[in-house]
Amino acid sequence: MWYLPGGGLDFGEHPQVGALRELREETGYIGELDALLGVEVLRLADPDGIAWELVWIIYRARVTGGKLTPEADGSTDFAAWVNPERLTTVNTGQLVERALALPLHGGSPVPPYDGLAATGRSELRGVTRLVASGTAAATDESARRVAHGSTVRPGEDPAAAVVRAWAALGTDVTVGPARCVTSDIVDDPAAGVRRWTVRVLYDVDIS
């Protein structure tokens, strides 16, 4: 089964950092991210019947160093450059099919990494949440861009959470492509938790 380089984020890890870490682990390459291509949701079940929901953040990267090297003792056993035309003749996962359907030469520029991440060990209980927000353009030159969002519910597409958040204000919107993904982590000793929030920001058009 062929996949694109990638994998799960460690708790508190910024998505940009995770993407480049996975690239190096699975291919041996050092890279830089230059565009966010999209955010996809994939729902599947493992052989034990356990349902999984994957939120896949897809970046475009360019190789800046390293050498193509298959991962040792990891989740993959081989790495290679594959011509897109050949992918129609080999077994690929759904994520590859969805990624190739995206405009590979488009996307949104990746902002500089903000440096926020979990550091050190913590006795606090880790809590993860995904938040999706939609930003509307100003209606006139004196107005500011307005953003509304919501925590993504289990089984909900992030873009649908944006529509729901705006609808709660009585406004219908059309959600465009994801514009950026950010991450922050906050310790709340009073509640005994360390909250890690990944935010997906979309541009929206007000209907």
* 92 and 132 inside one domain: no
The pLDDT confidence band at residue 50, using thresholds 50, 70 and 90, is confident
Residue 141: what pLDDT?
54
Whether residue 27 lies inside any domain: the answer is yes
Whether residue 105 lies inside any domain: the answer is no
Whether residue 51 lies inside any domain: the answer is yes
Whether residue 20 lies inside any domain: the answer is yes
Whether residue 118 lies inside any domain: the answer is no
For residues 41-54, average pLDDT:
81
For residues 196-207, average pLDDT:
92
* 80 and 139 inside one domain: no
For the stretch 127-181, pLDDT in tens is 999 999 999 976 655 455 688 999 999 889 999 999 999 999 999 999 999 999 9
Would you give the distance in Å from CA 71 to the centre of its chain? 22
Residue 139: what pLDDT?
62
Residue 22: what pLDDT?
95
Give the domain range for residue 94: 15-100
Residue finishing a domain among 32, 66, 100:
100
* pLDDT at residue 118 tops 60: no
The pLDDT confidence band at residue 115, using thresholds 50, 70 and 90, is low
Q: Which residue has the higher pLDDT, 163 or 41?
A: 163
Whether residue 30 lies inside any domain: the answer is yes
* 41 and 79 inside one domain: yes
Residue 49: what pLDDT?
81
Q: Which of 1, 91, 101 is nearest to 56 (CA)?
A: 101
> Which stretches of the chain are DSSP H helices?
15-27, 94-100, 158-167
* 145 and 81 inside one domain: no
Q: CB 85: neighbour CB atoms within 10 A?
A: 7
Contact 201, 181 (CB under 8 A): yes
User: Considering the chain, what is the average pLDDT of its residues?
Assistant: 88
For residues 87-105, average pLDDT:
84
For the stretch 72-95, pLDDT in tens is 888 888 999 988 888 888 888 788
User: For residue 130, which amino acid is it?
Assistant: L
Distances, alpha carbon 146 to alpha carbons 51, 105, 130, in Å: 36, 28, 20
* pLDDT at residue 119 tops 60: no
Whether residue 50 lies inside any domain: the answer is yes
Residue finishing a domain among 100, 117, 141:
100
Which pTM value belongs to this model?
0.88
* 148 and 184 inside one domain: yes
For residues 33-37, average pLDDT:
95
Task: State how far the Cα of 180 lies from the Cα of 112, in Å rounded to an integer.
Answer: 11
Q: Which residue has the higher pLDDT, 164 or 54?
A: 164
Residue finishing a domain among 100, 115, 134:
100
CATH of residue 191:
3.90.79.10
The two tokens of residue 156 are: 């909900």
Number of domains in the chain: 2
Whether residue 6 lies inside any domain: the answer is no
